[in-house]
């Protein structure tokens, strides 16, 4: 139902649309690195993904519309840290949870045993989202809540 396209397989236009979303104030303010990313840095980063098996970045499409992005970074021991943002035009309808569940159902086959996530304590919407998806709180460090979702 949803299509996941690795950034390394995206066209230049698709990568620019991803960057546009990533640089929206309402999205970047929740990121660990909240700065605006330049086109140059974005394209350089995507090139670096081609030779880095420990970082997987996907654009998520529904009927050819970009509904969000999903990224995974190998932390070792079968745990991958996952990052997510949804296109604001598609937020708040339960759609994001549907495509993340579809994504997750394919991850166990890649040898991924658990997903970790860190959510700013004041990102209440994201906190609710993670709890609804089944992530369990592991710890808090005063800025972030650290979550884990076991896949098996
Ligand atoms: C966090 C984020 C990915 C969640 O995606 P989302 O689209 O808002 O989440 P959902 O699709 O599950 O929608 C949930 C909301 O829609 C409402 N909703 C409406 N219909 C729904 C349905 N059928 N099923 C579930 N929720 C539904 C829920 O009540 C919920 O509202 P709430 O957020 O006030 O609790 C998204 O808000 C986002 O990208 N935020 C900015 C970037 C960010 O914070 N990323 C995460 C960093 S850790």
Residue 109: pLDDT band (50, 70, 90) is confident
| Per-residue H/E/C for the chain | CCEEEEHHHCCHHHHHHHHHHHCCHHHHCCCCCCCCCCHHHHHHHHHHHCCCCCEEEEEEEECCEEEEEEEEEEEECCEEEEEEEECHHHCCCCHHHHHHHHHHHCCHHHCCCEEEEEEECCCHHHHHHHHHHCCEEEEECCCEEEEEEECC
pTM given for the model: 0.94
Query: What are the pLDDT digits (tens) for 50-96?
Result: 999 999 999 999 999 999 999 999 999 999 999 999 999 999 999 99
pLDDT confidence of residue 81: 98
| CATH label, 3-110, candidates 1.20.1260.10, 2.60.40.10, 3.40.50.300, 3.40.630.30 | 3.40.630.30
Q: Give the residues surrounding ligand 1 with Cβ less than 6 Å away.
A: 27, 30, 84-86, 91-97, 119, 123, 125-126, 128-129
Average pLDDT, the chain: 97
Which residue out of 21, 93, 128, 148 has the highest number of ligand 1 atoms within 8 Å of its CB and is therefore the one to mutate? 93
What's the average model confidence in pLDDT over 19-45?
Answer: 97
Q: What are the structural domain ranges in the chain?
A: 3-110
């Amino acid at each position: 139902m949803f299509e996941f396209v690795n950034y390394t397989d995206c066209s230049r236009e698709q990568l620019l649309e991803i960057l546009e979303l990533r640089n929206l104030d309402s999205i970047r303010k929740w990121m660990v690195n909240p700065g605006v990313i330049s086109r140059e840095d974005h394209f350089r980063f995507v090139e670096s993904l081609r030779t880095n098996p420990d970082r997987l970045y996907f654009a998520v499409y529904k009927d050819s519309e970009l509904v969000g992005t999903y990224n995974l970074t190998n932390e070792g021991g079968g745990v991958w840290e996952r990052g997510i943002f949804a296109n604001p035009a598609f937020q708040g309808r339960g759609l994001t949870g549907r495509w993340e569940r579809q994504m997750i159902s394919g991850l166990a086959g890649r040898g991924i045993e658990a997903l970790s996530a860190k959510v700013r304590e004041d990102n209440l919407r994201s906190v609710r989202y993670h709890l609804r998806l089944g992530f369990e709180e592991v710890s808090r460090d005063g800025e972030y809540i650290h979550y884990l979702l076991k896949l098996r």
